[in-house]
Amino acid sequence: MKLSHQKTLILLYVLTTTTALVSAYLYGWQYFVWLILGLSALKFLLVAFNFMEMKKANSFWKFFIVFYVLVFVTVVNIIL
């Protein structure tokens, strides 16, 4: 495994632990949903760009993935 993949994997572990701690201790906070969805979106982008090799893809696909994540997080927050 490449060193960059190992660093990304460690960062994903840290973000997952942070998400679990936030959901346990900050429940009811005003920006709770935004924080959880933001951390999840960051994890999604890390996986997509590092493990799925999207950083080598066409710029259209890079834009589309980032745009999709932003729209998804915004729509879910509006619904909730």
| DSSP-derived 3-state class of residue 58 | coil
Dump pLDDT digits (tens) for 6-56.
999 999 999 999 999 998 888 888 888 889 999 999 999 999 999 888 888
Q: In this predicted structure, what is the pLDDT of residue 70?
A: 95
Q: Decide: pTM greater than 0.95.
A: no
Q: In this predicted structure, what is the pLDDT of residue 19?
A: 92
- Residue 30 carries which DSSP code? T
Spell out the alpha helix ranges (H) of the chain: 3-25, 32-46, 59-79
